[in-house]
């Protein structure tokens, strides 16, 4: 460049500085684009995770309602056959794929990853993952047995004997056990029809029956459900919660007289000690509708399950 | 004459650079607007699908989608397709240049939540 009076060598630096600013601004633009892509995909992944968790919980409810109660199959929470499939299905419907599935009691935890064909690759962002948890919570739409003391009075006994058509044996389980499932076997809150069945059973046995469990309130059921590895139904889904089942110490002896007493043994292979009222739905009888107790009807009509997203806790 | 032409060239370069810089800034702003619209569309689609899963009416589903977006985007948010609980929502991309309608370009996002 030729020297021009009045101009200095610094005048070209403005153009250079502008170039730097342009490059920096371009970098900011690229960064904003990247951030936008990541935010979009993260939102999509969270939608997919939430949908998958809700779908799994909803499928588990269907299994709990239709499978357990009608077939007597053991339910161990929301880990049911169709829950995982439903989670995978809904992840896919939302452009993601299921990469993690865990359950804990009545909670389900899912992890999804956006699929390349879900738009992630097109936006140049990595495939984001998201987690979600959903919970199945029973809501009781009808009264369970009230937990007030239910000790039998002489008038109660007379009424039960009349209904059973036989006398109560000496030392009957109904007279020796209490009415609190937290401290022992609660026979006080058994449905009246179940008490009648116990009286008939003891009459057939010719002696008192030894019980290991009878009525359980929801907290007793929840404690068992969380702690016992084995055939324990979730709270609200056990016939014990409605006073319609007992567990016995001598299943062989009881099984021989169960039918005559009006009981059935719904799970002889997996839960032999469990006997339910023959009229109950668990026994594939008349769905419990023959039980003339305010809380002795069809448990399916008592409970609805609320499915909701929850904060992720430890699985 | 030569000196005068060189000085003018510098000025032209500066104008060109400034124009380029302006375009890049607009591009950056537009990228941010696209991202905002995309996330808003995701949120709106999810809200609309949740409304559909609750068996709400079409008007209520549309209202749910709009309510889930920022006030500045509500006018350009609409449900464009629905099948069961599968809902696709369109959100207009706010233009970086003022005076251009926001509904010229839009972004679509779909969500499908299960019925409960």
Q: Per residue in B47-60, pLDDT tens?
A: 999 999 988 999 99
CB burial class (10 A; 0-12, 13-18, 19+) of residue A28?
Answer: middle
Determine the Cα–Cα distance for residues A135 and A142; give it in Å rounded to an integer. Answer: 21
Question: Reading across the β-sheet that carries A263-264, which strands appear in turn?
Answer: A211-213, A245-248, A274-277, A263-264
**Residue of A15, A20, A22, A305 to mutate, interface with B, max B Cβ within 10 Å:** A22
Q: Measured between CA atoms, how close is B6 to chain A, in angstroms?
A: 9
Confidence of residue A230 (pLDDT cuts 50, 70, 90): confident
A72 contacts: CB under 8 Å, gap ≥ 6:
A266, A267, A282, A284
Question: Which segment of A5-9, A156-160, B50-54 scores lowest on mean pLDDT?
Answer: A5-9
DSSP class per residue in A137-196: EEEE-SPPPP-S--PPPHHHHHHHHHHHTSPPPTT-HHHHSBS-TTTS-B-TTS-HHHHH
The verdict on a CB contact (< 8 Å) between B38 and A40 is yes
* Cβ contacts from A onto B, under 8 A: 95
pLDDT in tens, A89-98: 999 999 999 9
Burial string for A49-75 (b: 16+ CB within 10 Å, else e) reads: bbbbbbbbbbbbbebbbebbbeebeeb
Interface test with chain B among A23, A52, A91, A93, by most B beta carbons within 10 Å:
A93
Of the candidates A55, A39, A134, A47, which has an alpha carbon nearest to the alpha carbon of residue A94?
A47
Whole-prediction pTM value?
0.61
Which pLDDT value is given to residue A125? Answer: 54
Residue B62 scores a pLDDT above 90: yes
Question: What's the burial of B106, exposed, middle or buried (CB within 10 Å: 0-12/13-18/19+)?
Answer: middle
B86/A51 Cβ within 8 A: no
Q: Are A263 and A201 contacting, i.e. CB atoms less than 8 angstroms apart? A: yes
Q: What is the pLDDT of residue A12?
A: 58
The alpha carbon torsion through A147, A149, A155, A159 (nearest 10 deg) reads 30
Among A1, A33, A94, the residue with its CB nearest the CB of B31 is A33
Q: What is the mean pLDDT of chain A?
A: 78
The answer to whether the CB of A127 falls within 8 A of the CB of A116 is yes
Q: If you measure CA to CA, which chain B residue comes closest to A39?
A: B39
Q: Which pLDDT belongs to residue A24?
A: 81
Predicted confidence at residue B109, as pLDDT, reads 95
Cβ contacts of B2 on chain A, cutoff 8 Å: 2
- What is the distance between the alpha carbons of residues A216 and A95, in angstroms, rounded to a whole number? 45
pLDDT of residue A122: 47
How far is it, in rounded angstroms, from Cα B114 to Cα B54?
Answer: 10
Q: With contacts defined as CB-CB under 8 Å, which chain A residues touch B36?
A: 36
CB–CB contact A94 B111 (8 Å): yes
Six token digits for residue A136: 């199945």
For residues A249 and A284, give the distance between their C-alpha atoms in angstroms, rounded to a whole number.
Answer: 24
Contact status of A315 with chain B (Cβ, < 8 Å):
no
Token reading at A15: 């153009």
Is A58 within 8 Å of chain B by CB? yes
Q: Which of chain A's residues have a Cβ under 8 Å away from the Cβ of B17?
A: 15, 18-19, 22
In degrees, to the nearest 5, what angle opens at C-alpha A154 toward C-alphas A150 and A157?
75
Give pLDDT tens digits for A261-297: 989 888 888 889 999 887 666 665 433 333 333 333 4
Rounded to whole angstroms, the Cα distance separating A307 from A135 reads: 6
Most confidently modeled range among A21-30, A276-285, B8-17: A21-30
Q: Name the pairing type of β-strands B77-83 and B86-92.
A: antiparallel
- Coil, helix or strand for A264? strand
Closest CA–CA distance from residue B63 to any residue of chain A (Å): 19
Beta bridge partners of A304: A139
Q: Is A54 in contact with B114 (Cβ distance < 8 A)?
A: yes
The predicted pLDDT at position A53 comes to: 95
Please tell me the predicted confidence (pLDDT) of residue B1.
Answer: 47
pLDDT at A10: 53
Six-digit token pair at B50? 């949740």
What confidence score (pLDDT) does residue A117 get?
60
Contact A39 B10 (CB under 8 A): no
Q: What residues of chain B lie within 8 A of the CB of A22, using their CB?
A: 17, 20-21, 24
Q: What residues of chain B lie within 8 A of the CB of A3, using their CB?
A: none
Q: Are B44 and B91 in contact (CB under 8 A)?
A: yes
**DSSP bridge pairs for A110:** A101, A132
> Residues for chain A: how many in total?
315
pLDDT tens profile A39-91? 888 999 999 999 999 999 988 887 766 544 433 343 446 666 688 999 999 99
Percent of chain A with pLDDT over 70: 72
A148 touches chain B (CB under 8 A): no
* A-chain residues near B38 (CB < 8 A): 36, 39-40, 43
Distance from the Cα of A107 to chain B's closest Cα (Å) equals 15
CB contact under 8 A, A40 and B39: yes
Task: Please give the Cα distance from B58 to B51 (Å, whole number).
Answer: 9
What is the average per-residue pLDDT within A12-30? 74
Q: Which of A29-33, A263-267, B28-32, B100-104 has the lowest mean pLDDT?
A: B100-104
Neighbours of B92 (CB within 10 A): 21
Sheet order of strands, A96-104 included: A96-104, A107-114, A129-140, A303-310
> Is the pLDDT higher at B102 or at A300?
B102
Contact state of A32 with B114 under an 8 Å Cβ cutoff: no
């Amino acid at each position: 460049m030729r020297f021009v009076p009045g101009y200095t060598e610094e005048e070209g630096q403005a153009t250079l500085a502008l170039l730097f600013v342009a490059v920096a601004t371009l970098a900011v633009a690229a960064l904003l684009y990247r951030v936008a892509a990541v935010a979009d995909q993260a939102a999509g992944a969270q939608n997919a995770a939430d949908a998958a968790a809700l779908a799994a919980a909803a499928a588990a409810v269907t299994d709990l309602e239709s499978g357990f109660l009608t077939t007597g199959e053991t339910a161990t929470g929301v880990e049911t056959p169709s829950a995982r499939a439903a989670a995978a299905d809904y992840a896919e419907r939302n452009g993601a794929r299921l990469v993690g599935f865990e359950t804990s009691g009545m909670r389900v935890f899912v992890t999804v990853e956006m699929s390349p064909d879900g738009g992630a690759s097109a936006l140049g962002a990595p495939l984001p993952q998201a987690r979600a948890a959903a919970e199945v919570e029973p809501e009781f739409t009808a009264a369970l047995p009230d937990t007030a003391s239910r000790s039998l009075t002489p008038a109660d006994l007379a009424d039960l004997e009349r209904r059973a058509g036989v006398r109560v044996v000496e030392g009957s389980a109904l007279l020796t056990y209490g009415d609190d499932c937290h401290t022992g076997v609660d026979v006080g809150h058994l449905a009246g029809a179940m008490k009648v069945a116990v009286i008939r059973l003891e009459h057939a046995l010719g002696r008192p029956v030894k019980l290991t469990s009878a009525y359980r309130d929801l907290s007793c059921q929840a404690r068992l459900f969380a702690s016992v590895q084995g055939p324990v139904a979730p709270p609200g889904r056990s016939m014990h919660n409605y006073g319609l089942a007992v567990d016995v110490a001598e299943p062989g002896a009881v099984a021989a007289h169960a039918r005559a007493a009006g009981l059935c043994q719904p799970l002889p292979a997996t839960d032999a000690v469990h006997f339910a009222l023959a009229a109950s739905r668990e026994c594939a009888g008349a769905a419990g509708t023959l039980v003339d107790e305010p809380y002795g009807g069809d448990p399916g009509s008592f409970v609805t399950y609320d499915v909701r997203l929850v904060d992720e806790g430890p699985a | 004459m030569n000196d005068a032409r060189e000085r003018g060239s510098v000025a032209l370069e500066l104008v060109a650079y400034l124009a380029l810089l302006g375009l890049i800034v607009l591009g950056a702003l537009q990228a941010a607007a696209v991202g905002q619209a995309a996330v808003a569309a995701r949120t709106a689609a999810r809200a609309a699908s949740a409304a559909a899963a609750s068996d709400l009416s079409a008007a209520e589903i549309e209202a749910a989608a709009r309510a889930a977006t920022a006030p500045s985007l509500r006018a350009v948010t609409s449900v464009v397709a629905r099948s069961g609980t599968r809902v696709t929502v369109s959100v207009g991309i706010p233009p970086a240049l003022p005076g251009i309608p926001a509904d010229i370009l839009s972004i679509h996002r779909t969500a499908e939540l299960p019925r409960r």
